[in-house]
Amino acid sequence: MDNIVIIDCGSQFTQLIARRVREMKIHSTVLPWDVSVERVREHAPSGVVISGGPDSVNDEGAISVQREILTLGAPVLGVCYGMQLLAKYLGGQVVSGEKPEYGTTPIRREGKSRLFKGIPDSFDVLMSHGDRVKQVPPNFRATADTKHGVIAAMESDDGCFFGLQFHPEVGHTQHGSLVLRHFLFDICGCKGDWDLGNWIERSVEEIRARIGAGRVVCGLSGGVDSSVAAALVHRAIGKQLECIFVDHGLMRLHEARQVLDSYDGLGLSVRHVDASGLFLGRLSGVTDPESKRKIIGELFIKVFDEESAKIGAVEWLLQGTIYPDVIESGSKKGSAVIKSHHNVGGLPEHMKLKLLEPLRDLFKDEVREIGRLLGVPSGIVDRHPFPGPGLAVRCLGEITKERLDVLRAADAIFKEELVRAGLYDGIWQSFCVLLPVRSVGVMGDGRTYSEVLALRAVNSADAMTADWTRLPADLLDVVAKRVCNEVRGINRVVLDVTSKPPATIEWE
């Protein structure tokens, strides 16, 4: 099977490159910039793409990739920073700070290039660079430039190395997909015969080979990712997988029961731990968002640790990490931590579990598709994402059982009305947020002084960016009326009309 290795030098667009490659039915693997040549060789790449990144190749300590990766024999495409690295390694010259370009710019082709076959002589591309290649390496030629004389593309005479100063992976670049297609099919010789069905078969075989007779433990949250990861690993090793469902008391209405019933149907062996008293006790009086996240993360690990000790002789920890989590947690150089995402990655030293993360390279929609193929019920596969810390990050201010119950009741109404209107499945994520703000209202003949509920609905491809959903006014009206009438403790409903960025999807 063809595999394209994408080496991530820290660009926010790396995942888009991976996506474009997958869209052409070619498997792709994203590896960090400091990956060894041996590791890349293990992936038997048909081609290598080196991504963009925030560094300057001329700076000391800048991100670099192992030079030997260029000698593996697979064609190499350097994008933006990747092109500058190629130029530096192969004897060209890169200059910093001269003629930076940000935004859409027309470029003009020069001479013949296999990358640009069938593409007009001039087209618009997205540029985003401070540095540029001033001189191409020996036995290379420039194949496109901008009107400011910046080299926009280069390639080696032997047809092994290609560089693009612009980003072919983004929608703003005209013919970007065609440029990538030429690289993947004409230059790397890929066939485009990969699909998610054979991904499952291959993955099941790999998991069996890795785990052997070992035992795996998995923390289930009821969310799509951990559930699909568990279903996949269960298919591979059956009873060697033991799952733990920690109920932190921060789930939605009836959620714990529904989720456990679904797991029963999948044949998973699940230990249900009701730790709600412990969590709510420790969260009492805590209002700072990061403190809430830290407490929940630590307690989760403690409970998980105690339960795994009861299982005994476990060697592996299964996690439902997916590709956007890898980026958002700031696990790579150059990307900032926005929120401490809570998972069981911070397990205590003494557990010494090996990590199994079979979904690490996949996007959410791919995980959902795999879930469907594995028979995971639609109630889990199609549910909106739910954060690990649960309602704690949606119950702003102090977390009490009473406020959580108010939030749960309101949230259930919002979901019910979205489903009734046939809108739920078309929305990426929707939920309610209880604000620690009281306002005056009038109900019947009396004055009320109660808290405010915010409705949040967003559309997104992968949660990295999101646009607020334009919900119909009539639906909003019904939700607001029902919430104020049916939920004691709320007398005002507002709508969040902020996208990400500048906001994040969750409020905390």
Stretch that binds ligand XMP, among 118-126, 254-262, 339-347, 369-377 (CB under 6 A): 339-347
* Residue 169 appears among annotated catalytic residues: yes
Q: Which is nearer to ligand XMP, 341 or 482 (CB)?
A: 341
Q: Judged by CB under 6 A, which of 339, 360, 372, 482 binds ligand XMP?
A: 339
- Asked if 498 touches ligand XMP (CB under 6 A), the answer is no
Q: Which of 167, 234, 248, 342 is catalytic?
A: 167
Q: Which is nearer to ligand XMP, 225 or 242 (CB)?
A: 225
- Asked if 222 touches ligand XMP (CB under 6 A), the answer is no
- Quote the tokens at residue 343: 């998972």
- Quote the tokens at residue 161: 């190395």
CB of 227 to ligand XMP, least distance (A): 12
- Asked if 92 touches ligand XMP (CB under 6 A), the answer is no
CB of 385 to ligand XMP, least distance (A): 4
Q: Which of 9, 27, 129, 169 is catalytic?
A: 169
Measured in degrees and rounded to the nearest 5, phi and psi for residue 300 equal -55, -45
- Quote the tokens at residue 426: 């078309």
Q: Judged by CB under 6 A, which of 429, 450, 469, 491 binds ligand XMP?
A: 429
CA dihedral 41, 42, 44, 47 (to 10 degrees): -50
- Asked if 385 touches ligand XMP (CB under 6 A), the answer is yes
Amino acid at 336: A
DSSP symbols for 348-405: -GGG-PEEE-TTTT--HHHHHHHHHHTT--HHHHTSPP--TTGGGGTB-S---HHHHH
Stretch that binds ligand XMP, among 170-178, 437-445, 485-493, 497-505 (CB under 6 A): 497-505
- Nearest CA among 141, 172, 153, 190 for reference residue 3: 190
Q: Which is nearer to ligand XMP, 47 or 249 (CB)?
A: 249
Amino acid at 38: E
Size of the chain in residues: 508
Segment 245 to 304, residues that bind ligand XMP, using CB under 6 A: none
Burial 173-203 (b: 16+ CB within 10 A, else e): bbbbebbbbbbbeebbebeeebeeeebbeeb
- Angle formed at CA 40 by CA 34 and CA 46, multiple of 5 degrees: 135
Q: Which is nearer to ligand XMP, 78 or 388 (CB)?
A: 388
CB of 388 to ligand XMP, least distance (A): 3
C-beta of residue 161 within 8 angstroms of C-beta of residue 76: yes
Stretch that binds ligand XMP, among 83-91, 120-128, 387-395, 476-484 (CB under 6 A): 387-395
Q: Which is nearer to ligand XMP, 10 or 388 (CB)?
A: 388
Q: Judged by CB under 6 A, which of 47, 219, 388, 390 binds ligand XMP?
A: 388
Segment 446 to 465, residues that bind ligand XMP, using CB under 6 A: 463
Q: Which is nearer to ligand XMP, 45 or 388 (CB)?
A: 388
- Nearest CA among 214, 257, 267, 269 for reference residue 237: 214
* Residue 167 appears among annotated catalytic residues: yes
C-beta of residue 170 within 8 angstroms of C-beta of residue 13: yes
Question: Which residues of this protein are in contact with ligand XMP, per CB under 6 A?
Answer: 338-339, 341-342, 385, 387-389, 429, 463, 500, 504-506
Catalytic residues: 80, 167, 169
